[in-house]
Amino acid sequence: MWISKEERNEFNELFQELVTGNYSIKNINRKNEKGETILHRAAKVSTRKKISWLIRKGGDIEARDNEGYTPLHAAVFGRRLESVKELIEAGADVNATEEDGNTPLHLACMIGAKNIVKELIKARAEINPVSIKGFSPMHYAFDEEIREILEKKRRKNNKQTERDLEKNRGRIRG
């Protein structure tokens, strides 16, 4: 996702208005015509420090834009690893899906963002969710390193499942 200079400047002006009090904090979750909050825009173009400030002031980490993207999706699109980390630490849902069923991990694989893929997996993102079109993150993992990261996690999950089955002798609790 390409971020225009105009979009960066618009965010910086809006953020400055928030900080100086010219823009009411009560409007922190107000949406623009695309359905984005200031936190969506910050996640794409800004720093971890500003994102943290917005969250502390009441920015909704699970707000959805018109296409169902959360600020975490936006941070992934913007390739902002530190923004991704801040949103995850604040409790953002790493498995949130947008209207096509894509999670942040789907998007990170699409754009080849290895460090973000690692961060999402570390935060327990599901590696096999299937989008509405029937694609998992692995379908979008064109980068060999990303494919290996996902495959390694899948093998680890399979071993854990085998251990759990053996421990419970195949019985399902419930």
Is residue 38 a contact partner of residue 28, using CB atoms and an 8 Å limit? yes
pTM as predicted: 0.83
Average pLDDT on 8-21 reads 71
Q: At 17, list the tokens.
A: 């208005």
Residues 147 and 116 in one domain: yes
Residues 6 and 77 in one domain: yes
Residues 78 and 106 in one domain: no
Residues 142 and 115 in one domain: yes
Average pLDDT on 151-162 reads 79
Residues 76 and 100 in one domain: no
Residues 6 and 88 in one domain: yes
Is residue 72 a contact partner of residue 93, using CB atoms and an 8 Å limit? yes
Domain count, the chain: 2
- The helix, strand and coil proportions of the chain, stated in percent and rounded to the nearest 5, come to 55, 0, 45
Q: What is the CATH number of the domain that holds 111?
A: 1.25.40.20
Average pLDDT on 98-123 reads 98
Q: Output the pLDDT for position 52.
A: 95
Average pLDDT on 30-49 reads 92
Res. 9 pLDDT band, cuts 50 70 90: confident
Domain end among 51, 66, 93: 93
Is residue 59 a contact partner of residue 93, using CB atoms and an 8 Å limit? no
Domain end among 38, 61, 93: 93
> How buried is 90 (Cβ within 10 angstroms: 0-12 exposed, 13-18 middle, 19+ buried)?
middle
Condensed to tens digits (0 to 9), the pLDDT of residues 129-143 reads 999 999 999 999 999
Residues 42 and 23: their CA atoms lie apart, in Å, by 16
Residues 1 and 18: their CA atoms lie apart, in Å, by 26
φ, ψ of residue 124 to 5 degrees: the values are 70, 35
Average pLDDT on 142-167 reads 80
Other CB atoms within a 10 A radius of the CB of residue 56 amount to: 9
Q: Where are the alpha helices (DSSP H) in 46-123?
A: 48-56, 71-77, 81-89, 104-111, 114-122
For 133-171, letters b (16+ CB in 10 Å) and e give eebbbbebbeeeebeebbeebeeeeeeeeeeeeeeeeee
Q: Output the pLDDT for position 139.
A: 93
For the chain, give the percent of residues with pLDDT over 70: 83
Q: Output the pLDDT for position 23.
A: 58
Domain end among 67, 93, 119: 93
Residues 89 and 172 in one domain: no
Q: Output the pLDDT for position 54.
A: 93
Residues 116 and 173 in one domain: yes
Which structural domain, as residue segments, surrounds residue 148? 95-174
Q: Output the pLDDT for position 13.
A: 74
Average pLDDT on 65-87 reads 97
Between 17 and 91, residue with greater pLDDT: 91
